[in-house]
Amino acid sequence: MKRTCMAVVLAAGESTRMKSSRSKVLHPVAGRPMIAHVVESLVGASISSVALVVGRDADAVTAAARRDDIDGSAFVQTERLGTGHAVLAAREAIARGYDDILVVFGDTPLITAAPLMAARRGLADGNDVVVIGFRTADPTGYGRLIIENGALLAIREEKDASEDERKISYCNGGLMAINGAKALDLLGRIGNANAKGEYYLTDIVEIARAAGGKAIAVEAPETELTGCNNRAELAAIEAIWQKRRRHEMMVSGVSMIAPETVFLAYDTRIDPDVTIEPNVVFGPGVTIESGAVIHAFSHLEGAHVGAGAAVGPYARLRPGANLGADAKVGNFCEVKKAEIGAGAKVNHLTYIGDAFIGARTNIGAGTITCNYDGVNKHVTQIGANVFIGSNSALVAPVSIGDGALVASGSVVTEDVPEDAVAFGRARQEIKPGRAKLLRERYQAEKAKRQNK
């Protein structure tokens, strides 16, 4: 849209019902503060500027909402005197002059750009106030939208509604758009002549109409307007977000055997023709290329999985894990800050950290890269077509050349040239009959202790 728009995001609540040491809007949904979800939707609705009304944890809330592609400013609300009062905390920003002013809440992370754009179109059509509402089978507790001939006459709180008005299922979602040229005048006319002595933003509908303006309502899905007041509601919002995102991915070509057991992060990117088995968790920063399979009970964060690669079951990819095409990380393996080359295999009970593994290399079961000396991390370099025998310890910094072979049970502390065989273990010795003598000695010692 060519019209300019600023969003006032109300995020100054005390979050009392969350019973938390941090602001409610900082609590994560899909690994991201809920206020960041709200701001992303604003960007999608072509909002050019955001005014944050903050209180508790003001600096942290401002940082969580910050984006490079949108101008932002923060205003501290020192008193809690209602929603109308909260919006006017951003008076300075509103006065800069915008065609549209959007008022949204920082605890509605499920909102999308579509209803926000619909509200803006309502202003473009000549209305002074556009309220975003929703329809519900149980409107108990919500303010009702009083509509007549398409016009919004008022928002009636349930305690003030007549019996017929309480039957209305079209409810106030709290979000609204206001004509920017009239916003300060309309907001300034909101009074506090009510039982609580607060300034209610909902009064702006009747104020605008009394001044000769027009007001309408636009409808959004009920779930998009879901707010968060406690931990139970936070969990419900998470479930809705996950279900919505899983559906989007499956429609785009991702296979999920038991989708309800897969948990995604806000930025998880999965290409078509990827298969996700049950009970997989994605932390932030994961990309999965086409043809890959993520087997059951795996956890991935900050990782890249190449085309045709396989992970798990019961594998963990930590930040910096980068699997090449057709690579394999198998059961009970952990990979951190490591490059796994194309076709390489890390199959069983293995830890690979701060390492580079070449193409088609095989890492035997129980192998570990000893990357930490108690103070610093060190790198292990393993070339292509290398075979690392089971139960080996590679003590970094160390390099193993292309085509080399490390014997099972070795502790490798020196570089291994290409095509060499490395033995890093003691020579085996056989002591005939010694086991029988040791058993007899141990049994005698045990009997002696028991007889004391």
Which residue spans within 12-141 are E strands per DSSP?
A: 28-29, 32-33, 49-54, 71-76, 100-105, 129-135
- Contact of 190 with 84, CB cutoff 8 Å: yes
Could you tell me which residues come within 8 angstroms of residue 84 by beta carbon, excluding any fewer than 6 positions away? 187, 190, 198, 199, 200, 201, 203, 204
CB-CB contact of 393 with 412 (8 Å): yes
Crossing angle of helices 34-44 and 113-124, rounded to 10°: 50
Q: Measuring CA to CA, which residue among 377, 385, 325 is closest to residue 339?
A: 325
Strand partners, 338: 355
* CB 87 within 8 Å of CB 53: yes
Task: Clarify whether 348 is annotated catalytic.
Answer: yes
CB 111 within 8 A of CB 175: yes
Contact (Cβ atoms closer than 8 angstroms) between residue 44 and residue 120 = no
Amino acid at 6: M
Contact call for residues 150 and 214 (beta carbons, < 8 A): no
Tokens of 203: 């009064």
* Residue bearing tokens 């139970």: 232
The answer to whether residues 391 and 365 touch, using CB atoms and an 8 Å cutoff, is: yes
Burial zone of 36 (CB within 10 Å; 0-12 exposed, 13-18 middle, 19+ buried): buried
Q: Do strands 144-148 and 411-412 pair parallel, antiparallel, or not at all (unpaired)? A: unpaired
Give me the catalytic one of 37, 295, 304, 348. 348
What's 427's DSSP letter?
A: P
d(CA 303, CA 374): 25
- Kind of pairing between the strands at 255-256 and 170-179: unpaired
In whole angstroms, what is the distance from residue 146 CA to residue 249 CA?
Answer: 39
Length of the chain: 452
Q: Within the chain, what is the greatest distance between any pair of CA atoms? A: 107
From CA 111, how far away is CA 158, in angstroms rounded?
24
SS3 content of the chain, % helix, strand, coil (to 5): 25, 30, 45
The residues annotated with a catalytic role in the active site are 348
